[in-house]
């Protein structure tokens, strides 16, 4: 009988030993299974539970590992590695507030260790305690790119952009994985209206189409149209969207190259024919070219007509259309456009003067006099040249009407 009992004991599986073997062999499913059985045999053994929690965490089963680590700390309060691991898992679960006490205890146990300080800094940053986060980052490994990046973000949150910038740069130099964080720094420079600093960073990303596009637009907004052209040309080549065509056209226009802008606007309008801003810009380009080629005035009028058809309540479009109708001497249509503008709630002295000119050219003398006189009442020395002409025409027309 004694021999049989001894044989049965020898045949029993040592689940803890098997779990450790599996853990060392990185067979985490086997490890977790063996440690779970070992916990059933030795429920008060904190070491077994610790290894079970570790196995579960290595399987990314954080939600299962967390309560096991908490039980470990009930059995063995102050166990450094359990506090650290539990804090890290809670951080992975986006529970920074829950992680704080465990990470604080881990740092208290080993204040010079980088890892607990780093995760404590991350937890403090996530909970908005930026000054204490900064202190914890400074206590962590100063050569770590992750630490430098975190320290930069903690400083930014305290409004210390100038102090943070070198850490963003050092992180990018230390580890290429952090290079894109320079774009975060560039965005912060933009928010601070330090556009030259932002541009200098964006120029370091020549192979990123989105960055090249933004760089061109930023240069354009800051009066560097000629500098913007190469970036925007590259953006159009890689991503010929309406927005990119339009931005490149704007850069050409501001660089005094309207002949290059026109085809870009044409392409943009093919992609977005109902884009009012595009339509108005193209119409104005044609209008400006009308000084040398009168036919362009008619083309511009057609573009502005399409603009009002796209957005019938756009005062801007109706104003532009009215101007071109006047230039092309379409007086009846000009009156209709002026009526529409008035219906939309606007009537300026200049528009009343246009109305007077239309009536005058159409030989509607009574209406012309009324409009000239109304213009003179409204203008009051704002438009001296037109006021002089209006007085002369009003006087002449009134004289002619009195003769009848």
Tens of pLDDT, residue by residue over 288-326, are 999 889 999 999 999 999 999 999 999 999 999 999 999
Percent of the chain with pLDDT over 90: 89
CA atoms of 294 and 153, how far apart (whole Å): 59
Q: Is 233 helix (H, G, I), strand (E, B) or coil?
A: helix
Instruction: Single out the residue of 257, 323, 313, 213 nearest to residue 265, CA to CA.
Output: 257
pLDDT (0 to 100) of residue 277: 95
Candidate from 59-68, 207-216, 263-272, 335-344 with smallest mean pLDDT: 207-216
CA atoms of 35 and 47, how far apart (whole Å): 10
Better-scored residue on pLDDT, 388 or 4: 388
pLDDT (0 to 100) of residue 400: 86
pLDDT (0 to 100) of residue 212: 87
pLDDT tens per residue, range 233-262: 998 998 899 999 999 999 999 999 999 999
CA 386 to chain centre: 48
Q: Is 78 helix (H, G, I), strand (E, B) or coil?
A: coil
pLDDT tens per residue, range 20-43: 999 999 999 999 999 999 999 999
Over the range 41-75, which residues count as b (16 or more CB within 10 Å of their CB) and which as e?
eeeebbebbbbbbbbbbeeebbeebbebbebbbeb
pTM of the model: 0.71
CA atoms of 353 and 386, how far apart (whole Å): 8
pLDDT (0 to 100) of residue 4: 42
Instruction: Single out the residue of 216, 205, 209, 153 nearest to residue 176, CA to CA.
Output: 205
pLDDT (0 to 100) of residue 113: 96
| pLDDT beyond 70 at 6 | no
The DSSP secondary-structure symbol of 404 reads -
Candidate from 167-171, 215-219, 268-272, 339-343 with smallest mean pLDDT: 215-219
Over the range 194-219, which residues count as b (16 or more CB within 10 Å of their CB) and which as e?
bbebbbebbeebeeebebbbbbbbbb
Residue 107 and residue 136 in contact, taking contact as beta carbons nearer than 8 Å: yes
Q: Is 203 helix (H, G, I), strand (E, B) or coil?
A: coil
Q: What share of the chain is helix, strand, coil (3-state, %, to 5)?
A: 80, 0, 20
pLDDT (0 to 100) of residue 404: 64
CA atoms of 59 and 79, how far apart (whole Å): 22
* CB neighbours of residue 26 within 10 Å: 9
Instruction: Single out the residue of 133, 136, 173, 170 nearest to residue 153, CA to CA.
Output: 133
Quick one: average pLDDT of 189-213?
A: 92
Triad 327, 328, 329: Cα angle to 5°: 90
Quick one: average pLDDT of 39-64?
A: 94
pLDDT (0 to 100) of residue 210: 87
CA atoms of 38 and 225, how far apart (whole Å): 72
Residue 23 and residue 31 in contact, taking contact as beta carbons nearer than 8 Å: yes
Q: Which residue has the tokens 């920074």?
A: 96
pLDDT (0 to 100) of residue 3: 55
| pLDDT beyond 50 at 366 | yes
Instruction: Single out the residue of 42, 4, 8, 3 nearest to residue 16, CA to CA.
Output: 42
Residue 69 and residue 105 in contact, taking contact as beta carbons nearer than 8 Å: no
Percent of the chain with pLDDT over 70: 97
Quick one: average pLDDT of 186-215?
A: 93
Query: What pLDDT band is residue 196 in, cutting at 50, 70 and 90?
Result: very high
CA atoms of 16 and 196, how far apart (whole Å): 62
């Amino acid at each position: 009988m004694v021999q049989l009992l001894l044989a049965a004991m020898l045949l029993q599986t040592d689940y803890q030993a098997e779990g450790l073997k599996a853990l060392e062999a990185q067979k985490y499913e086997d490890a977790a299974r063996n440690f779970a059985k070992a916990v059933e045999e030795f429920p008060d053994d904190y070491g077994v539970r610790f290894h079970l929690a570790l196995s579960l965490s290595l399987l990314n089963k954080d939600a299962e590992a967390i309560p096991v680590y908490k039980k470990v700390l009930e059995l063995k309060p102050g166990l450094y590695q359990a506090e650290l691991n539990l804090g890290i898992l809670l951080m992975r679960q986006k529970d920074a507030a829950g992680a704080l006490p465990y990470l604080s205890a881990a740092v208290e146990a080993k204040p010079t260790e980088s890892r607990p300080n780093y995760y404590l800094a991350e937890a403090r940053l996530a909970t908005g305690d930026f000054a204490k986060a900064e202190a914890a980052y400074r206590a962590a490994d100063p050569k770590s790119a992750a630490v430098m990046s975190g320290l930069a973000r903690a400083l930014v949150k305290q409004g210390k952009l100038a102090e943070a910038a070198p850490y963003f740069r050092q992180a990018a130099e230390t580890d290429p994985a952090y290079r894109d964080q320079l774009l975060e720094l560039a965005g912060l420079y933009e928010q601070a209206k330090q556009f030259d600093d932002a541009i200098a960073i964006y120029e370091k990303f020549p192979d990123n189409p989105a960055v090249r596009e933004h760089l061109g637009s930023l240069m354009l907004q800051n009066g560097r149209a000629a500098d913007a052209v190469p970036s925007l040309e590259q953006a159009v080549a890689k991503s010929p969207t309406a927005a990119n065509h339009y931005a490149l056209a704007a850069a050409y226009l501001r660089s005094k190259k309207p002949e290059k802008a026109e085809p870009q606007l044409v392409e943009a309008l093919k992609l977005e024919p109902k884009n009012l801003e595009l339509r108005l810009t193209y119409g104005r380009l044609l209008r400006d070219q009308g000084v040398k080629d009168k036919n362009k005035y008619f083309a511009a009028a057609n573009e502005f007509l399409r603009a009002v058809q796209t957005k019938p309540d756009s005062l801007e479009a109706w104003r532009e259309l009215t101007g071109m109708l006047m230039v092309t001497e379409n007086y009846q249509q000009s009156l209709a456009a002026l009526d529409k503008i008035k219906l939309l709630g606007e009537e300026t002295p200049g528009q009343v003067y246009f109305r007077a000119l239309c009536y005058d050219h159409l030989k509607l003398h009574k209406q012309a006099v009324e409009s000239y006189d109304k213009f003179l009442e409204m203008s009051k020395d704002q438009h001296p040249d037109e006021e002089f002409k209006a007085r002369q025409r009003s006087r002449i027309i009134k004289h002619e009407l009195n003769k009848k």
